[in-house]
A and B are shown apart, each in its own frame.
Chain A
Amino acid sequence: MAQLADLLDALERIGDQPGRPVSAHLDPAINDAAKTAVALGLTESVSALTGTALHAELRRLALRAALDGHYDRWPDDRPHVAEVALFLAAARKLPVADRPELPTALREMADAMGADVDPETLLAATAGHLAISGSAA
């Protein structure tokens, strides 16, 4: 059975060998968009774009799996989604990050939106809510 360590091993070998053709079923619109991006000079080639995007997503999946493995061992370490959204606001230096009510507003919005809400959606919803309530005050 494949293990996370196998994925990490494979990720560390990226770039060691020259590329070779592989087949993949893609939505034709994705292929069209990729070709257009190449024609516009936004990216080197469809192959380069595919490789870069796939590499980034595989790294993200590996990180997600490694984090979940950590929480399996230490369940109390899993951050609340509101903390992650608060970090994103600060890291992006969004004006809403300076609002003192943001931490509480994020927690309340997370409670309202449910446990599965992602931090991006939570931050956008809370920032929108605060903008409306701020302009109404």
Chain B
Amino acid sequence: MPRRRRTRQGEPTHLVLDNEALGQLSGGRPSQPLLVALEAAAATVGRILLPTSVVVERGYDPTAPVAADANRLLRTAHDDELTRSRAVEAGRLRQKTHHGASVVDAHVATTALAAIRRHSGTATILTSDVGDMERLLDASDDTRTGTSAFIQAL
């Protein structure tokens, strides 16, 4: 049975961009699931978070010519840097999955967990890699944040 928590109306819905989400935003025309998620963030004053390791993995170059609309959407995102503390937390999660998840995926998962801890509300990971993300979130010891993270397949 899925774990449930009570969430008050009006709590922010933060978004965490994985590789596929960044690809869609930097490529010109986001998919409908991504636009729906962006609308939800706009409606709830949720943050859009871009883990910087995803930028590395994607090879995203902000100076490359892209559709202006997509570039504007991407520029509303906050960078989430792989600081020492974030790296330690990501490393612990990754160890618990027996290194089955990538370093980037572990950073993405810890970005979501940290957003919930720091800003309350819920965090949705926008990804094409649902299985690894589920394993990483299930590995979290923090039940409160673990149950407040949601995965949206793109």
User: Using a CB–CB distance below 8 Å, which chain A residues touch chain B?
Assistant: 4-5, 8, 11-12, 56-57, 59-60, 62-67, 69-70, 73-74, 77-79, 83-84, 87-88, 90-95, 118-120, 123-124
Q: A12 near B40 (CB under 8 angstroms)? A: no
Residues on the A chain within 8 Å of B35, using CB: 67, 70, 77-79
Closest to B13 in A: A91
Q: B150 near A93 (CB under 8 angstroms)? A: yes
In angstroms, Cα B36 to Cα A87, docked, is 7
Residues on the A chain within 8 Å of B147, using CB: 93
Interface size class of B (residues with CB under 8 A): 35 or more
User: Using a CB–CB distance below 8 Å, which chain B residues touch chain A?
Assistant: 2-5, 7, 9-11, 13, 29-30, 32, 35-45, 47-48, 68-70, 72-73, 75-76, 78, 122, 124, 147-148, 150, 152
Distance from A128 Cβ to chain B, minimum over Cβ atoms (Å): 11
| Known interface pairs A79-B32, A120-B43; A59-B76 also in contact (CB < 8 Å) | yes
